[in-house]
Amino acid sequence: MGYREELDTPCLVVDLDRLEQNIAEMAAYARERGLALRPHIKTHKTAEIARLQRQHGVVGFTCAKLGEAEALADAGVLDDVLLAYQIVGEQKIRRLLALMERARVTVAVDGVEVAEALSRAVREAGKTLDVLIEVNTGLNRAGVEPGEPVLRLAREVVQMPGLRLRGLMTHEGHVGKARDAEELAEIACRAGQDMVDSAELLWREGIPVEVVSVGSTPAAFHTTAVPGITEMRPGTYVFYDNASFRFDRIGPDRCALRILTTVISRPAADRAVIDAGSKTLTMDPPPPDRRGHGYVVEHPEAVIVRLSEEHGVVELPPSARELRVGDRLEIIPNHVCPAVNLQDELFVVQGGRVIGTWPVLARGKVR
């Protein structure tokens, strides 16, 4: 019996061969260009996939939240981690110090206050903490502005006892709003250049910059092409998703994760209801040139027009009107990372059969 009949729905199915291909390709790209590969674990949150990434050569992992890093460390697959996030507050600093006993830890900082609090804490604990300055290259989230503001913060951080400034990092996630491949390349290269220019300011002043780190799967092959970038931190590439195959070489056949779902109602000729709603597919919007809450593999013309928590309402093209209650569909989610975060486990398939189950061990670790 194949996995489509065997598994109860809705559930997340990972094709092992596709997954390994995606992991191997990104590793090869990094290797060929002499880039350090430090994948973000937010996409998969599983020990087994982290292990595969290690087998293919990574320098370590990236996490947003301490809880993700703790979960991976507990599973024995994390010994070098960048917390690409501001660590703020007593509770978090205590946990950071504990994590430093178990792994090499680098932390992002984007302000004097946060850096000073870290400096004070690690000094009292008799430790040294590696830090990267977070740079805003256009996402307009956290981060200091490129150029002089980076230099000003760097001058302060290098003076702070207990901290060792290792370089700069950014997340160029604003490539997501690009309207075409050309614009994407342009935004990504601009972000990379801003990083390298900022790094150069530091060099000129004698502040060593060992790491110039960029993130984001859609920008991966553009930002990293700027000479001077040393590290890449893609996340989504292990699975890819509906936002991945907008302009370029990534087609749905490369998407290693699909949501298996069942048609539970056919109330009208042009409407089917599936058992995956916002608690499975998430409410993350499609990329700008698409419609609906995911890509229906069997019927790419079908549009998932509306989600309730446990229902997906699918508008059917004439070619899909034969769909019956009980039929199964596979959906590529708009954004795979939050979809994985809703699950307790991923079902692993190879050659159309279920070969295992992987717990999503860092699920819900938002602290």
Question: Is the Cβ of residue 308 or residue 357 nearer to a copy of itself in the bound state?
Answer: 308
Give the Cα separation of 267 and 38 in Å (integer).
48
Residue 227 CB, nearest approach to a copy of itself (Å): 28
Give min distance, CB of 23 to a copy of itself, in A. 21
Q: Amino acid letter at 350?
A: Q
Report which secondary-structure segment, H or E, holds 338.
helix 336-340
Rounded to the nearest whole angstrom, what is the least distance from the CB of residue 177 to a copy of itself in the complex? Answer: 11
Looking at the Cβ atoms of 28 and 325, the one nearer to a copy of itself is 325
- Classify strands 295-296 and 129-134 as parallel, antiparallel or unpaired: unpaired
Question: Angle at the Cα of 214 (from 149 to 144), degrees rounded to 5?
Answer: 20
Q: How far is CA 232 from CA 31, 167, 254, 349, in A?
A: 11, 13, 21, 29
Is 221 or 347 the residue whose CB approaches a copy of itself more closely?
347
| Cα gap 349→5, rounded to integer Å | 13
Strand ranges inside the chain, DSSP E: 11-15, 36-37, 61-63, 80-83, 104-109, 129-134, 163-169, 211-215, 231-233, 257-268, 271-274, 295-296, 303-307, 312-315, 328-332, 345-350, 353-359
Q: Facing residues of 105 across strands?
A: 81
Nearer to a copy of itself, 285 or 288 (CB): 285
Nearer to a copy of itself, 57 or 338 (CB): 338
Specify the residue, 31 or 141, whose C-beta has the smaller distance to a copy of itself.
Answer: 141
Cα–Cα–Cα angle for 200, 202, 204, nearest 5°? 70
CB of 88 to a copy of itself, least distance (A): 5
Nearer to a copy of itself, 89 or 251 (CB): 89
User: Nearest distance from residue 273's CB to a copy of itself, in Å?
Assistant: 5
| Least distance between a copy of itself and beta carbon 69 (Å) | 13
Q: Which parts of this chain interact with a copy of itself (CB under 8 A)? A: 8-11, 42, 64-65, 85-86, 88-89, 91-92, 110-111, 113-114, 136, 140-144, 173, 262-267, 271, 273, 275-280, 282-285, 306, 308-311, 313, 324-326, 337-338, 341-344, 363-364, 366-367
For residue 240, what is the DSSP state? -
Cα separation of 215 and 84, whole Å?
10
Q: Provide DSSP, 206-239.
A: T----EEEEE-STTHHHHTTSBTB-EEE--GGGT
Shortest distance, CB of residue 267 to a copy of itself, whole angstroms?
6
